[in-house]
Amino acid sequence: MTEALLQAIISGLAVGGAYALVALGFSITFTTTKTLNFSHGEFVSAGAFIGMSALFLVLGKPVSSTTFGDAIPGAGAQLLALVAALGAMGLLGWLLYAIGVRPFAGRPGMAWVMSTLGFGVILQSIGLAIWGPKPVVVPAPVGDAVIRFLGVGVRPQELLTLGVTVAIMLVFDRVMNHTMVGKAMRAVAANGSVASLMGINTNAVMIGAFVVSSALAGLSGFLLAPIAQASLFMGLTVGLKGFSGAMIGGLSNPRGCVIGGFVLGVFESMVNLWQAQWREVAVFALVILVLAFRPTGLFGKKMVEKV
Amino acid sequence: MKQGRHFVAVALVAAALIGATALFNNDYYLRIVFMMCVYYLCAAGMNVLVGYAGQKSLGQAGLFAAGAYAAALLTTRTEMSPWLALVLAAGISGVCGVLIALPSLRVKGPYLAMVTLAFGIVVEKLVGEWTDVFGGAQGIYGIKPLTWNGQPFTSVQWVWFGIVLCAAAHLLLRNLICSRFGRALLSLQADEIASSSVGVRVYRAKVIAFVVAAVTCGIAGALVAQQNQYINSDFITFHLSIFILLLVLFGGAGSMYGPLVGTVILTLVDALLARWPSAQHFLYGFLLLFALYVMPGGIMGLVSQWFQKAKKAGLAAGGSAAPTRIGPDGSGELLVVQGVSKSYGGVKPAQDVSFRLQRGHIHALIGPNGAGKSTMINMLTGVVDPDQGSIRFLGQEIVGRQVHTICCLGMGRTFQNLRLFADLSVLDNVMLGRHSRMSNGFFSSLLSLPQARRQEVATRERAIQLLDLVGLSHLAHQPAGSLPYGLQRRVELARALATEPQLLLLDEPAAGLNPQETAELGQLLVRIGKCGVSILMVEHHMDLVMSISDHVIVLDYGIKIAEGKPAEVQANPRVIAAYLGVDDDAVAAT
């Protein structure tokens, strides 16, 4: 029983790490531009598939193949794929901002909800046209040998996901609080027009926010693919749960978002242990419960509208 | 009668369509027409939610599923009549609509959109994975279709039934939108705080919009399940939610015929592209991404731009400019504020403030910037809750009451930074003010019963009278946002008067007005005072304050430093000190 519980906690933490990356992405764009990427989930899938295509290319297979067969890409190939995924996702984020968000940001009516949603649908249909709906098994960069300790089996990819996530969070926190770039981002978040009066290029900061946010989504997909198989439909639920994590933690607080993501991952994994089909329902019930008592999340600041 | 003509026209069009479908014998075409009816039902309800209430719902597939699976389970697991099952299915989806609307009590905007998206996904997962009940991808077979004379509907009969339902849905929703509910929905889309300050129960209005969209979507789902006699989890996808949303946005959200146009075009396109699903999805994504950019008002928005009709200019001047009676006469205490305190961290905009307002007087609340005047107005109207103290209005404690309740008790207000519903006409703005004084209920409006129509006519007349009072009746049909600033202030005043207040709170009514306009405003306020409305105004223009008010209250840093007749207050050394500062020598001397 304890082993099963421990197992659930560890895999919950690993998946929670992926959620935390997504949640952080939501938080970054929300605080700087007051918009959210409603196709963040598709961006997660896109990250997985771009990484996968890079691996195919390195292995000399056509991009549109749907299986690795026996080929195992080496560490160099994996690293190259990671860089390709992050770079391509950053570009996608910039594109999304330029055509989907900037024309609508700051205007009433939330038209950006539709445009970002549409962007995601386009991405997904392009993916479907190339790879079809079937999921692809992706080899893990650190092998598939299960590590055992205390009677619990852990896949190295899970540990890797957890480690990378924690490292990214620490770096991000450091950048936000101790560098000029971070200060500029927080200034734009606090008041964009005043920030631009102080000589901060708000447009560049906003583009940066979308680039970083998309790259984080891509990283999340890249790390998840070997754990859960790469699928064009994997993103939607990951994206939603990332957002749920952000809501639990408080969208305006990056650290809260990260904690929320981890909490959600572990919670989901626990419910899964008990009744698999109630997993999604339980997760969203938790979110609604949190919102009912703390509409701005556990660590979010209370918002007051000036009358 | 305009309403009667519209009814006949819709009936004729429906009859013509029914006649036309009787002619073509091709099952494929009939199927397309049937799907148009199904999608139109979804879109018509969704338009109320998206176009009028301004709430984005990204989980309509979940409600579609609620209706479809309710009909499926009710007719396969029990011996229920399929007709009864259809009605129950509509009810069940309505309940689900309430469920989605619940979070809207706490969250807004993008958060709410994400919650609805999550609802759709949860339902999708549930019907896909809980196979014991919903059958998953295998689905549920043997759903009983609707019957006529004991015989199941033929394809043509299904289409006829669909057309009849669509016509009924159109007529009912049109009634609803043209009633006070439609106005209330538009107002909460524009500005929730202003909306509740004129007496609209914002949360209830949102729930109504969600339920309307849920019921129509549920009926559509039940129709599909009963017509196919089969339903499985493949019907319920995220793309369905997007498609339903797109029907409304593409056609034109917030226009009466937008959903119809969107449905006809997109259902045809959908049928043409059915063989290439990824091209279908690509197109929807493309439309979502660019349609709003190119045509924010959808196709109907474009069309109405081309055929911009000359607006009716002016109204027949509403007769006499004789002051209309608004509140009751009399004297005595109207409002008693006792020991009210409020603090935001270290800032204390109210510390143990007490004062009394008399019926029939014009009171002024003055003080330097940051004295806590606006906060006081917000506490009186329920926008902000005080930390301590009691506020009694007409003998009732109102601390902790909701904004719209306080408005209904008889307290109207205007805002420091105008909060008009800019896209609505001046007349609609003022008519909204009377929302809480109208007694026609939801169903009475939905069916456009005579009582509802009488109320509507009475409200319109009253609004025109009030516009006369403030001298704006010639601008009644202009969008409120297009008026110059000074006139917008007067519209807001008329809107507040339409709530039939006994006490009118004005937050800097003369801000941004030139001296001429300020003087006119003063005369207007005196006239309003004669109509039986007591006034409390926050104001910086001392000439205005001193010339028209009967009683002045002075706040400084949240503390009441003086009150009394204008002349007394002007002579009060503490007031002078607060406004002009104190000479150190003078302090030493005293």
Partner-chain contact B114 A124, CB within 8 Å? no
Tokens matching residue A20: 């935390």
According to the 3-state scheme, what is the secondary structure of A106-151? CCCCCHHHHHHHHHHHHHHHHHHHHHCCCCECCCCCCCCCCEEECC
d(CA B545, CA B363): 9
Q: What is the pLDDT of residue A307?
A: 60
Average confidence (pLDDT) over B351-372? 90
d(CA A214, CA A46): 10
Residue B165 sits at φ, ψ, to 5 deg, of -60, -45
- B103 neighbourhood in chain A, CB within 8 Å: 288, 291-292
Of B239, B289, B344, the CB nearest to A100: B289
Q: Model confidence over B545-566: pLDDT tens digits?
A: 889 999 999 999 889 999 999 9
Average confidence (pLDDT) over B137-160? 86
Q: What is the pLDDT of residue B287?
A: 87
d(CA B180, CA B553): 38
d(CA B53, CA A21): 34
Q: What is the pLDDT of residue A78?
A: 87
Partner-chain contact B110 A110, CB within 8 Å? yes
Give the confidence band of B94 by pLDDT, cuts at 50, 70, 90.
very high
- ipTM attached to this prediction: 0.84
As a whole number of Å, the end-to-end CA separation of chain B is 77
- B414 neighbourhood in chain A, CB within 8 Å: none
- A35 neighbourhood in chain B, CB within 8 Å: 110
The boundaries of every CATH 3.40.50.300 domain in chain B are 333-589
Residue B15 sits at φ, ψ, to 5 deg, of -65, -40
Tell me, what amino acid is at B62? G
Average confidence (pLDDT) over B383-405? 91
Residue A204 sits at φ, ψ, to 5 deg, of -65, -40
Of A114, A122, A295, the CB nearest to B107: A295
Give the confidence band of B208 by pLDDT, cuts at 50, 70, 90.
very high
| Residues β-bridged to residue B393 | B335, B396
Q: What CATH code is assigned to B333-589?
A: 3.40.50.300
Q: Model confidence over B498-527: pLDDT tens digits?
A: 998 999 999 999 888 888 889 989 999 998
Tokens matching residue A205: 């900061």
Give the confidence band of B205 by pLDDT, cuts at 50, 70, 90.
very high
Partner-chain contact A110 B242, CB within 8 Å? no
- Cβ–Cβ under 8 Å, residues A265 and A17: yes
Tokens matching residue B118: 């999550």
Q: What is the pLDDT of residue B311?
A: 45
Tell me, what amino acid is at B336? V
Nearest to B214 by CA among B63, B55, B41, B40: B63
Pick the residue from chain B with its C-alpha nearest to A114: B288
Residue B488 CB neighbour total at 10 angstroms:
20
Residue keyed to tokens 């009983």: B144
d(CA A151, CA B121): 36
- Cβ–Cβ under 8 Å, residues B297 and B252: yes
In this prediction, the residues of chain A whose per-residue pLDDT falls under 50 are: none
Tokens matching residue B519: 């003087």
- A276 neighbourhood in chain B, CB within 8 Å: 129
pLDDT higher than threshold 50 for residue B319? no
Chains A, B: CB contacts within 8 A come to 129
Average confidence (pLDDT) over B385-403? 91
Share of chain B above pLDDT 90, in %: 38
- A124 neighbourhood in chain B, CB within 8 Å: 281, 285
Q: What is the pLDDT of residue B318?
A: 45
d(CA B245, CA B344): 41
- B293 neighbourhood in chain A, CB within 8 Å: 103-104, 111, 115
Mean per-residue pLDDT of chain B: 87
Torsion sign, CA atoms B310, B311, B316, B321: negative
pLDDT higher than threshold 90 for residue B580? no
SS3 of residue B23 by DSSP: helix
Q: What is the pLDDT of residue B45?
A: 94
Partner-chain contact A244 B285, CB within 8 Å? no
Nearest to B328 by CA among B377, B402, B394, B391: B394
Q: What is the pLDDT of residue B585?
A: 64
d(CA B499, CA B582): 44
d(CA B211, CA B91): 9
Pick the residue from chain B with its C-alpha nearest to A38: B114
d(CA B283, CA B266): 10
Q: What is the pLDDT of residue A272?
A: 86
Distance from CA of A165 to the nearest CA of B (A): 24
- Cβ–Cβ under 8 Å, residues A138 and A155: no
